Structure 1
Amino acid sequence: MKFASQHLQSATAILEAYDGAVPLHHFLKGYFAANKKYGSKDRRSISHLCYAYFRLGHAVKELAAAERITIALYLSAADEWKVLFPAGWQLHDNMEARLEQVKQQYPMFAVEDIFPFHPVSEGLKLTAFSLSHLRQPKLFIRTRPGKTKAVQAKLDAANIAYEQPAENIFSFTNNTRLEDVLTLHKEYVVQDLSSQRVGNMMKLPVGAGTVWDCCAASGGKAIMAYDLLQVQKLLVTDVRDSIIKNLVARFRESGIRNYNHLVVDVTNEAAVKKALGKQLFNLVICDAPCSGSGTWGRTPEQLYYFSTDKIKHYSELQKKIAVNAAQHVAAGGYFLYITCSVLQQENEDVVDWILKHTPLQLAKKELLKGYDEYADSMFAALFVAPA
């Protein structure tokens, strides 16, 4: 690639100035705004190299930035960057062969060091999961009810390449621009494949019931529940007023009118009781705050800077939220616990805590492994309240 060496030098300079305090894409946007000399292609190439550095996670952290970037590019089979590869490094099609080539020059390299956090949820193939961080996940969308055919027709007319994992799910390369072709929120929502598969647990015999999304954030799970269920009453809450304001705007654009919203700290039992009183719901959705470890393929800088002390912090939050929210599940109703984590302390351990400290019974739990499909990995557990 032309200018590859210059782009590598620029990337290493940026990495020296970056400390992980803000998301990498925000930092890069500010950096390029202050340095106007870079054209659009230069910005894309340099950004790619910066992300490559973090995709190695905690492996060979002692190496210089340029070496880490080169290893990541080689392991991801980035043929366009082969000019940067050391002499003799053949770009084998087989990952095992590429790993062996790297280990010959860097014997300290170990795949398990990319993602060194343990224990992980049952069923996770750690080697495959670790290596998945070397590639950018795909962009996934879910079509809104009745919009699938129209969306497909527009994509075909615009010659936008896509795959269709399910009837109302489309996937694209991550840099695909859809906003000039489709109407966000009205025709489709951006939602990862595993997140959409959580919807399978929402398809419950609750009929035209009541739903509370207790950690609503941007409202993705609430909108999915609205689309999948005959919801008579929908309540969305979050601890942050700014998030609720953004959610209200998104709901307006999505055509959702029949709902209530509140700012509530669900870790505080007294605050929950004051806000909700004795309200009970057929379905309570708890998409709990978490490490996000199942999504670090999209934000590898978080993988690089993550420290194990945060796991206990999130686990304690999750336990408080789950127990407080579970008190508002109607008899015979359901409680859906969700994280975008692959760590046992945030997943199975919290499930055990819920079973011990609430009357809920476990109906199903599942690690949604997206790493083999260029998607995020998530965990979901469905509980039922005694009738």
Structure 2
Amino acid sequence: MTPGARVSAAIEILDMIAEGTPVERALTNWARGSRFAGSKDRAAVRDHVFDVQRNLASDRVRGGGASGRQLMLGRLRAQNADLDQIFNAAGHAPSPLSDAERAAGQTPEAQSDQWNLPEWLIPEFEWSLGDRAEAAAHQLQNRAPITLRVNVARTTPSDVAAELAIEGIETQPNPVCDTALTITEGPRKLRNSQPYLHGMVELQDAASQAIASNVQGSSLKVLDYCAGGGGKALALAALGHQVTAHDLNVARMSDLPDRAVRAGVQIMVETPDTLSPDAVFDVVLCDAPCSGSGAWRRSPAGKWTLTQDALSGLTKTQDEILDQAQQHVAPGGQLVFATCSVLRCENEDRADAFVARNPVWNCTDQTRISVSDASDGFFHATFSKLV
């Protein structure tokens, strides 16, 4: 596909999304109907679509409207692309720009357009992040780093980095977590590489890994209460802990046993029906459902679909999860609360509210990991029971 044809494909997908099709489904539908597109073409089209989703407000302003064509026009203007080389109707490229299209579009001036956040969310963002709010908003407009978790149960970061380099995958140590490597070259070669196929590495953000690395002690009994896909459960098991994974949505853990075998670790899986109310653990980790605001680079549609009511519902769920999970903490154990959110109402406020409801608990640590070139934004708080 030519660069112009890739833009045409992105325009088609963006129009599907505007009509209500979820982003991933729109991409899949296009790919199934476009068998001619190679892997590089599909990746380039995906990048176009996600770049627009990250910058939806400013691209709408620059392009003069909300259609797929206008959004891509806005994105390309932001990139200082040669528009006449792309909008030329050659080889399935978009038709040439009209005089009206050339005249349309402005430089984004409103704060919500420059920050690419819903207007209602700006005050919450500023309250949560203070003088770091603008920088975080701009970070969320860029692509996220591609980061690996080294399976330290089987190898070391330096050894696996050397093995990956042989296969054309260059990495560098990640400053957020010792088990993390950031891919700097050859990311599309990863899934067919020997280290990946043999469980030496897994894709996982460095801040997510840091939650597991922050658990102090050796060979602890750990309950990953909201395990989801199991990334943190696998990280904890690789560090030598005895891990039980649990999630209300059991289907999300369906491939965890196979991934554990590939990684050479053992993880017990419990469902809400099988987890005994009397079961206790040294550490209970609650990586609670949240807005995902710290990871909106990876799922940018989330920042446009989040509502005030939905955010209030999430904070209620987070409170309920903490209240439920505390019963599984053994005497002298720890309760760890984590989110991939940068919003104070989902983080510090929830920690404070938990202690206020349960005065026998003490919050011993609260840590924010900022959205950066190295990782997503994360928060975690650790609680211990007062004697």
Give TM-score scaled by structure 2 length: 0.81
CA distance in 2, matches of 1:235, 1:22: 36
Q: Is structure 2 residue 301 aligned with structure 1 residue 292? A: no
Q: Report what 1:34 is aligned to.
A: 33
- Cα distance 1:70–1:255, how it changes in 2: closer, same or farther (>3 A)? same
Instruction: Report 1:304-343 matches (<5 A).
Output: 304-343=304-343
Contact 1:7–1:45 (CA under 8 A) maintained in structure 2: yes
Q: Report what 1:222 is aligned to.
A: 233
Q: Report what 1:192 is aligned to.
A: 205
Partner of residue 250 from structure 1, selected from 249, 253, 259: 259
Q: Report what 1:89 is aligned to.
A: none
Residue 216 of structure 1 deviates from its aligned partner by 0.8
3-state SS, counterpart of residue 330 of structure 1: strand
Q: Is structure 2 residue 185 aligned with structure 1 residue 180? A: no
CA distance in 1, matches of 2:281, 2:131: 33
Contact 2:151–2:200 (CA under 8 A) maintained in structure 1: yes
CA distance in 2, matches of 1:20, 1:324: 39
Share of identical aligned residues, percent? 23
Q: Is structure 2 residue 150 aligned with structure 1 residue 143? A: yes
- Cα distance 1:13–1:21, how it changes in 2: closer, same or farther (>3 A)? closer
CA distance in 1, matches of 2:139, 2:281: 38
3-state SS, counterpart of residue 29 of structure 2: helix
Contact 2:140–2:297 (CA under 8 A) maintained in structure 1: yes
CA distance in 1, matches of 2:223, 2:342: 25
Contact 2:52–2:59 (CA under 8 A) maintained in structure 1: no
Residue 124 of structure 1 deviates from its aligned partner by 7.0
Partner of residue 261 from structure 1, selected from 269, 281, 296: 269
CA distance in 1, matches of 2:198, 2:352: 36
Q: Report what 2:353 is aligned to.
A: 353
Partner of residue 170 from structure 1, selected from 162, 178, 181: 181
Partner of residue 167 from structure 2, selected from 144, 158, 161: 158
Q: Which amino acid aligns with 1:179?
A: R
Q: Is structure 2 residue 221 aligned with structure 1 residue 210? A: yes
CA distance in 1, matches of 2:207, 2:348: 18
5+ residue gaps in structure 2? 87-103
Which stretch of structure 1 is more off in the superposition, 324-333 or 312-321? 324-333
- Cα distance 1:190–1:124, how it changes in 2: closer, same or farther (>3 A)? farther
Q: Is structure 2 residue 120 aligned with structure 1 residue 119? A: no
Q: Report what 1:363 is aligned to.
A: 364
Q: Is structure 2 residue 372 aligned with structure 1 residue 372? A: yes
- Cα distance 1:247–1:125, how it changes in 2: closer, same or farther (>3 A)? same
CA distance in 1, matches of 2:59, 2:75: 11
Q: Write the deviation string for residues 351-386 of structure 1: whole angstroms up to 9, x where unpaired.
A: 1121112222111111111x3225211111111122
State the structure with bigger RCO (CA 8 A, min sep 6), 1 or 2: 1
Q: Report what 2:245 is aligned to.
A: 236
Q: Which amino acid aligns with 1:366?
A: T
CA distance in 1, matches of 2:204, 2:198: 11
- Cα distance 1:347–1:73, how it changes in 2: closer, same or farther (>3 A)? farther
3-state SS, counterpart of residue 258 of structure 2: helix
3-state SS, counterpart of residue 190 of structure 2: coil
CA distance in 2, matches of 1:337, 1:323: 11
Q: Write the deviation string for residues 291-334 of structure 1: whole angstroms up to 9, x where unpaired.
A: 11111101212223332321011111110011110122122211
3-state SS, counterpart of residue 218 of structure 1: coil
5+ residue gaps in structure 1? 87-101, 265-270
CA distance in 2, matches of 1:179, 1:8: 27
CA distance in 1, matches of 2:19, 2:259: 29
